[in-house]
A and B are shown apart, each in its own frame.
Chain A
Amino acid sequence: MKPPAFDYSRPESLDEALDLLAGFGPDAKVLAGGQSLLPLLSMRLAAPSRLVDVNRLAELAYVRSGPDAVRVGALARHAAVLHDAGARDRQPLLAEALAAVAHPTIRNRGTSVGSLVHADPAAELPAVLCLLGGSVTLASTAGRRTVPAGEFFLGPLESAVRPGELAVEASFPALGARSGTAFLEVSRRHGDYAVCGVAVLVELDSDLRIATARAGYLSVAPTPLVLDLTGAAGGRAYDADYAGPESAVAALVRDAVDPEPDIHASAAYRRQLAGVLTARALGIAARRAAGAAAEVAA
Chain B
Amino acid sequence: MSEAIQPGAVQSEARHRVALTVNGIEHRVAVPARRLLSDCLRHDLGLTGTHVGCEHGVCGACTVLVGGVPMRSCLLLAVSMDGEQITTVEGLAGTGDTAGELSPVQQAFAECHGLQCGFCTPGFLTTITAGLADNPDPTPEQARELIGGNLCRCTGYQNIVAAVLRAAELTRERGAS
In the bound complex, do residue A7 and residue B149 qualify as a contact, i.e. CB atoms below 8 Å apart? no
- What's the Cα separation between A49 and B149 when bound, in Å? 31
If A43-B56, A108-B70 touch, does A34 touch B11 (CB 8 Å cutoff)? no
Residues from chain B with a CB closer than 8 A to the CB of A9 are 2, 5
- What's the Cα separation between A24 and B10 when bound, in Å? 12
Q: Is A13's beta carbon under 8 Å from chain B?
A: no
Comparing B19-27, B31-39, B100-108, B166-174, the segment that makes contact with chain A is: B31-39
- What's the Cα separation between A55 and B37 when bound, in Å? 15
Comparing B73-81, B87-95, B109-117, the segment that makes contact with chain A is: B73-81
Least CB distance from A38 to B in Å reads 4
Residues from chain B with a CB closer than 8 A to the CB of A103 are 60, 148-149
- What's the Cα separation between A103 and B60 when bound, in Å? 10
Q: Is A206's beta carbon under 8 Å from chain B?
A: no
Residues from chain B with a CB closer than 8 A to the CB of A102 are 149
Least CB distance from B82 to A in Å reads 8
- CB-contacts of A35-59 with B (<8 A): 35, 38-39, 41-43, 49, 51, 53, 55
Q: Which residues of B are interface residues toward A (Cβ below 8 A)?
A: 1-2, 5, 7-8, 10-14, 16, 32-34, 36, 39, 54-57, 60, 63, 66, 69-72, 74-77, 79-80, 82, 127, 131, 146, 148-149
Least CB distance from B77 to A in Å reads 7
Least CB distance from B129 to A in Å reads 12
Q: Which residues of A are interface residues toward B (Cβ below 8 A)?
A: 1-11, 23-25, 27, 31, 34-35, 38-39, 41-43, 49, 51, 53, 55, 102-106, 108-109, 190-191
Residues from chain B with a CB closer than 8 A to the CB of A2 are 34, 36, 39, 55
- What's the Cα separation between A51 and B76 when bound, in Å? 13
If A1-B56, A43-B56 touch, does A105 touch B33 (CB 8 Å cutoff)? no
In the bound complex, do residue B10 and residue A8 qualify as a contact, i.e. CB atoms below 8 Å apart? no
Residues from chain A with a CB closer than 8 A to the CB of B8 are 27
- What's the Cα separation between A119 and B32 when bound, in Å? 29
Residues from chain B with a CB closer than 8 A to the CB of A31 are 77, 80
If A108-B70, A109-B71, A109-B76 touch, does A3 touch B148 (CB 8 Å cutoff)? no
Known interface pairs A34-B76, A51-B77; 9 further A-B residue pairs with C-beta atoms within 8 A, sorted by A's residue number: A1-B55, A6-B12, A38-B36, A42-B36, A53-B77, A53-B80, A105-B149, A109-B71, A109-B76
